Every structure is written in structure tokens, then in C-alpha cells.
Amino acid sequence: MEIVLNLKSLKQKSLTPNQVVLLKLLYDKNFDDIKEIFGIKEAIAIRDSLIGSKYILNPEGSLVKFTDTLISNKNVEKLLGIRSDNINFLEFYNHYPIRVGNRILRASGADTQVAKKHEKKYLLKVKTLKQHQMAIRAMEAFVAFQKRSNKLQYLPNMETVLNNSMWENWEVFIQSEGKEEQEWNTQTI
């Protein structure tokens, strides 16, 4: 597990690094790691220091078992930069070719630093699941159009796609199944 701490943000929110680590572990319900890292007494002390904040929902002075600690998922997700929606960047990323000819268009693996940088950019631009699904459909349609036109060599690099949110322009390539000519096909002459 990796937790990135922004010290400036912690100062503004009056939080210690230990409090943030504890909130992450409570969010994941990882009580074994809490016990191993902090010990029971220290973990309870840190939790109690957060009671009354917007992160812990237990009322002050209440005797709540540590494993029953109530956290505000929304506030903890915001603090830790966790997205609660199910936007899977790899669904988007894997629809784009890795290379065309000798041109490399995107990173081949999701674990590379370039792919992680791309994911960060994508998640900054795509905020909802609906936008994500539209981006996937638009990319699939554009790549298919380029393939039919024998113009795959003109696909832009993934960096360019992400910087310019090009999938928004590619929505015109999405073919909708028309029903206007359906009757024409079934009429007898």
C-alpha cells in the first residue's frame, strides 16, 4: 500500500501524518495493519484525537469499539484523493493501439510511469461514469473509422489525446442504430 502525503494540505487541515495513515487504514478496514503499525493504545488515541472532526462520525465521549469506528467515507475519500465511482482508466486505455508501424502511441503496460501519468490526466478530465463511457465509445468509434479508412498511421499520440480531451471531438464518429429506415425494409411492394 502506498499513501502520498501532501504536507501543505495536512497543515491546512490540521492533521498529522499518523492521522491520515489511520484514516486510510480505517477506510480500507485493515485492522491488522493498524494493530501492527500503531498498536492498540496508540491507534485508539489517534482515533480519539479525530473525534469531532469531519472524518470520524462517532459522537464525543461515546464508548465505541475500535472496529466499529464510523468514518465519513465522503470526507476521507476527498482527503485521500480516492474516487468512489467506478471509472476504470484501463477500459479507456486498452482501446487505443500501443503502436502503429514504428510509432509508439501509448505505454504498453499499465504499471509504467507514463501510463500512471496518463491515468492521472484522464481522471482530472473525466469526472463521471457517464463521461467515461462516452469517452470509451468515442475512442472505439474513431479508431474503427481510422482503420476502415486505412489511416491508422495518423492516430495522435495518447499524450495529445489526453491533453486536448480529443474524445469529445470524436463523439461524431459514434454510429447510432437508426430506426428511421426500419419500416422501409419490412414493407412489401
Please state the domain extents for the chain.
7-80, 89-173
Average pLDDT of the segment spanning 15-31: 90
pLDDT at 188: 59
The share of the chain scoring above pLDDT 70, in percent, equals: 90
Q: Residue 56 has which C-alpha cell?
A: 470520524
What average pLDDT does this structure show over 74-82?
83
User: DSSP letters along 100-149, please?
Assistant: ETTEE-S-S-TTSHHHHHHHHHHHHH--SHHHHHHHHHHHHHHHHHHHHT
Mean pLDDT, residues 71-99: 84
Across 33-42, 77-86, 125-134, least confident range = 77-86
Mean pLDDT, to the nearest integer, of 153-169? Answer: 93
Assess whether pLDDT exceeds 70 at residue 177.
no
- pLDDT(85) > 90: no
* CB neighbours of residue 127 within 10 Å: 12
DSSP structure class, residue 68: G
Please give the distance of CA 85 from its chain centroid, rounded to a whole number: 7
Identify whether the C-beta of residue 145 lies closer than 8 Å to the C-beta of residue 120. Answer: no
- The owner of cell 473525534 is 51
Mean of all residue pLDDT scores within the chain: 86
